[in-house]
Amino acid sequence: MRCGVVVEDLAVEVTAELPNDHARREVLALIECVRHDPRAWPDVRDPGPGEEIREAFERRCWVQYMPHARAIEVREIHWIG
């Protein structure tokens, strides 16, 4: 856990495979924005599950996450740059 952020194993692997430091900074900046206001991004869950799953987008990346009381859980990171 880092400053209210829990990152799933797959998301950690994707972050490690990003092409350069600029890409990592862009992804981390998006995660920081999400951490500050996690419910500002759209809820994308299916009607059935009880989990609140949201997605946040930047120009070349997006993250899928779950907000919790004092943290966010980053489930997936995608990079298209």
pLDDT value for 3? 55
**DSSP secondary structure letter of residue 17:** T
Residue 68 CB neighbour total at 10 angstroms: 12
Task: List beta partners, residue 33.
Answer: none
Banded model confidence at residue 7, pLDDT cuts 50, 70, 90 = confident
Q: Which top CATH class is 5-79?
A: alpha beta
pLDDT band at 1, cuts 50/70/90? very low
For 63-78, what is each residue's pLDDT tens digit? 999 998 888 999 999 9
Could you read off the pLDDT of 25-42 as tens digits, one per residue?
999 999 999 999 999 999
